Amino acid sequence: MTSSTLPTTDELRARARAALERVGAGSAVPDGARTGTAHVLHARTPVTGEDLFPVPAATESDAAEAVAAARTAFLTWRSTPPPRRGELVRRLGELLREHQEDVADLVTIEAGKIRTEALGEVQEMIDICDFAVGLSRQLYGRTIASERPGHRLAETWHPLGVVGVVSAFNFPVAVWSWNTAVALACGDTVVWKPSELTPLVSLACDRLLARAAEDVGAPRDVHRLLLGDRTVGAALVDDPRVALVSATGSTRMGREVGQRVAARLGRSLLELGGNNAAVVAPSADLDLAVQGIVFAAAGTAGQRCTTLRRLIVHRDIAETLTGRLTAAYRKLPVGDPFDAATLVGPLISTAALDRMRDALERVRAEGGELLVGGGRRLAEAAPGAAYVEPAIVRVGEQAGVVREETFAPLLYVLTYDSLEEAVALHNDVPQGLSSSIFTRDQREAEVFLSAEGSDCGIANVNIGTSGAEIGGAFGGEKETGGGRESGSDAWRAYMRRATNTVNYSSELSLAQNVSFL
């Protein structure tokens, strides 16, 4: 199925402008084309594959200036009581509630997400704001039993400094909000380098945060936005005044960022690619598994870092399950993400489509069998856009392209005979973000969650790999980078820990019974 019509670029431009105006960022895209500025980004929409507006872009010296301003703001912000810092985040959450539709419009226009997922992305932002407001009263340190009489041993958590946030197109604003809401509550200030592909929604969020800062009397420079290309990102990453670089994106990008930050002994928090798998055991509830798999593999047009890319199915149910999945795939409505009936919107670019086609070609050359999908849709209506049918490919072994993350709706199916074999296949890829098992056998589920089970940062039972709640820590192992963002105690990465020993006796006693003098 395909929705045969798409909105026009003019309609999308008007809708983007209206949303920007409602959030108070209308001046970012004045009427009439802006020319003559050397540094511009071209905001574009994957819905039609065409340009929307030129947007002024930052230079390397703008990056240095933004970091300096954020550093100055930090000197005030770090001493602001944490619950007062929480008021800024609460206000941001209120504004996001008020403008949920506007921000979601921009997410759909720039990232191509279907309506319910775009609204869900903004919901995730609202949720993390609520979380961070609570956190602002819970930045707990431990008191530790001292080995010495008359001594108190404790740890205190202090703000870290300027946090550089580098985010990707696919969650253009939720990932920013996980980092920013938590960092602000922790007393840090933020400089944000979003994806070049999503400048408008970034401008909208920067404006909402600026409004929140005005409303609660926080320094304006607690947050600075840097729209720009890789050189601007590199300037941020290399700046020694940036205490933590939190980067989300490809493993290639993360490897570079991690090494550059390590070279200056800075801290980095990396959330990189996944090659997420689900094991489907013979006892699985197949109705539930089919729903979970289709959402995880084809939802967001396969462009989540948590997207399901490998299915490891028990041989006895492989035929039945793939039959049901291919039937479900044939009915997936692909098309206009604003159409309420659509489930699969566009890929971000025709380059992403080329990469999917290339992966399909490679996997077929490696012996894979295409079961469904892979065809391009709406090419005549929108030659610059990239609508594609989600695809399923049966593969004999986990080699070559199956071990790579292709950021598209491409699901590989492998079969297994024993759970041990399934777990071994599951873990035998370089990435380690998200994983799941569909089973009604508790023993199998527990083995999968145990130390000898899934090696990922996220391991689920009877639910797909994507769509995590913000309350948990989010991130993964191996080439996924090891960082944890969002909930649980991920906040600790955004603070520095001081261990305090206080002697309230009148004796000096040395640890480890050392005597001196």
In the complex, which residues of this chain contact ligand UN1 (CB under 6 A)? 124, 170-171, 175, 248, 304-306, 466-468
**Residue 124 or residue 221: which is nearer to ligand UN1 going by CB?**
124
Q: How far is the CB of 228 from ligand UN1 (least distance, A)?
A: 21
**Regarding beta strands 485-486 and 473-474, do their DSSP bridges make them parallel or antiparallel, or are they unpaired?**
antiparallel
**Residue 6 or residue 125: which is nearer to ligand UN1 going by CB?**
125
Catalytic residue (one of 87, 121, 271, 485):
271
Pick left, alpha or beta for residue 424 (phi over 0 → left; psi -120 to 50 → alpha; otherwise beta): alpha
458 within 8 A of 435, measured Cβ to Cβ: yes
Q: How far is the CB of 482 from ligand UN1 (least distance, A)?
A: 15
**Residue 46 or residue 187: which is nearer to ligand UN1 going by CB?**
46
Phi/psi for 156 (5° steps) reads -125, 140
Q: How far is the CB of 194 from ligand UN1 (least distance, A)?
A: 13
The secondary structure of the chain in percent helix, strand, coil, rounded to multiples of 5, reads: 40, 20, 35
Q: Residue 133's CB: how many other CB atoms inside 10 A? A: 21
Q: Residue 474: name the closest of 484, 482, 459 by CA.
A: 484
Task: Give dist(CA 286, CA 281) in Å, integer.
Answer: 10
**Residue 124 or residue 238: which is nearer to ligand UN1 going by CB?**
124
Task: Give dist(CA 274, CA 478) in Å, integer.
Answer: 10
Task: Give dist(CA 506, CA 293) in Å, integer.
Answer: 66
Q: How far is the CB of 163 from ligand UN1 (least distance, A)?
A: 17
**Residue 161 or residue 464: which is nearer to ligand UN1 going by CB?**
464
Q: Residue 14: name the closest of 4, 1, 29, 2 by CA.
A: 29
Task: Give dist(CA 482, CA 343) in Å, integer.
Answer: 32
Listing DSSP states for 381-415 in one string gives T-TTSBEE--EEEE-SSS-GGGGS--SSSEEEEEE
3-state secondary structure of 338: coil
The single residue listed with the structure tokens 């994106």 is 249
Task: Give dist(CA 372, CA 327) in Å, integer.
Answer: 9
155 is catalytic: no
**Residue 164 or residue 467: which is nearer to ligand UN1 going by CB?**
467
**Residue 436 or residue 466: which is nearer to ligand UN1 going by CB?**
466
Q: How far is the CB of 272 from ligand UN1 (least distance, A)?
A: 9
Residues in the chain: 517
Task: Give dist(CA 387, CA 376) in Å, integer.
Answer: 6
Q: How far is the CB of 69 from ligand UN1 (least distance, A)?
A: 28
Q: How far is the CB of 304 from ligand UN1 (least distance, A)?
A: 4
**Residue 70 or residue 270: which is nearer to ligand UN1 going by CB?**
270
CB-side neighbour CA atoms (13 Å) of 435: 28
Active site residues: 271
